[in-house]
Amino acid sequence: MNAGILGLGKYLPERVLTNAELEKMVDTSDEWIRTRTGIEERRIASDDIQSSHMATMAAEEAIRDAGLTANDIDMILVATITPDYGFPSVASMVQHNIGARHIPAMDVSAACAGFIYGAVTAKQFVESGVCKHVLVIGVEKLSKITDYTDRNTCVLFGDAAGAAVIGPVSDGKGILSFELGTDGSGLKHLFQDGDYIYMNGREVFKFAVRQMGESSLNVIEKANLQKEDVDYFIPHQANMRIMESARQRLGVPVEKMAYTVNKYGNTSSSTIPIALYEAVKEGKINDDDVIVMVGFGGGLSWGALTLRWGK
């Protein structure tokens, strides 16, 4: 039995924070942000919207999109580094909010690689026959751990949620291969220092450029595919320059790469499901297309997978 994606959902807060507004908050410029990162604006959740709210909205849409109800969900995995509380998990709040049965629910902490970690975990439960439908959500309220006096980080991050229902699909479709990895010696380059995110941008940049390319090539090989077989590439949306270097390494044409960082900035675990959602809804992904998704981030951790689209 193969596990694939049956439905998708997303939630984006209404409030848009533009580069022009950031120019008034820190010593930066629209030009610097655009040319160094590709980001034009990002979304910021209001005080009364926490990760659990955003996750619930995205989850409900994904369940509808899969043609299911909350009753059909057998497990909930929420990838997040910005839970509402230290405990309980966001997943347990989503279980209650959507009215699911008393199923297993837990959070996965793998920063920007979190959605890939969640999807790969879901695959194990589906393919072993333990669960039929696993709800995987990437959600972040990064604005609550962003220091809006630190120009090195505050221009980068945003808030959002993306969700997928993972379940059985027909032969040859679904998640074909994956790679997950961690190098904890890189912790010092990206972590939450007290209340806020600390990041050594240059070090993370070097790691990301190397890892995104390598992991993508590894999962293509593991799936017995060639670079030319890739129909759509969904890199974690952190920085247009990092994405561009990975794209060139794979030789994927520019129109075949997801690009949402301009609109939403870096929303950590939610960038990949949101980018996938938008590509599918815009008709950029068709039945039987081979998709490569790759994420990297704090840990340092990374994850990649290949997926053949369709049920």
Whether 236 sits among the annotated catalytic residues: the reply is yes
Residue 214 token pair: 């390598």
Q: Computed over its alpha carbons, how large is the radius of gyration of the chain?
A: 18
End-to-end C-alpha distance for the chain, whole angstroms = 12
> Which listed range, 32-40, 62-70, 91-99, 113-121, lies at the site for ligand UT7 (CB under 6 A)?
32-40
The residue behind tokens 């393919």 is 127
Return the residues of window 201-260 that contact ligand UT7 according to CB under 6 A. Answer: 201-202, 204-205, 208, 238-239
In the shown chain, the binding pattern of residues 97 to 136 toward ligand UT7, with x for contact by CB under 6 A and - for none, equals: ---------------x------------------------
Specify whether the CB–CB gap between 134 and 62 falls below 8 A: no
Return the residues of window 33-62 that contact ligand UT7 according to CB under 6 A. Answer: 36-37
User: 87: which DSSP letter?
Assistant: S
Residue from 105, 99, 103 nearest 76 by CA? 105
Whether 112 sits among the annotated catalytic residues: the reply is yes
> Which listed range, 62-70, 128-136, 149-157, 279-287, lies at the site for ligand UT7 (CB under 6 A)?
149-157
In the bound state with ligand UT7, the residue whose beta carbon lies nearer, of 177 and 200, is 200
In the bound state with ligand UT7, the residue whose beta carbon lies nearer, of 66 and 110, is 110
Which one of 53, 133, 189, 236 is the catalytic residue?
236
b/e map 158-187, b = 16+ CB within 10 Å: bbbbbbbbbbbbeeebbbbbbbbbeeeebe
Instruction: Tell me how far apart the alpha carbons of residues 57 and 119 are, in angstroms, rounded to a whole number.
Output: 19
> Which listed range, 79-87, 140-148, 194-202, 227-235, lies at the site for ligand UT7 (CB under 6 A)?
194-202
For β-strands 174-182 and 16-18, DSSP reports them as unpaired
Whether 131 sits among the annotated catalytic residues: the reply is no
Q: Which positions touch ligand UT7 (CB under 6 A)?
A: 28, 32, 36-37, 112, 151-152, 155, 190, 199, 201-202, 204-205, 208, 238-239, 266, 268, 297
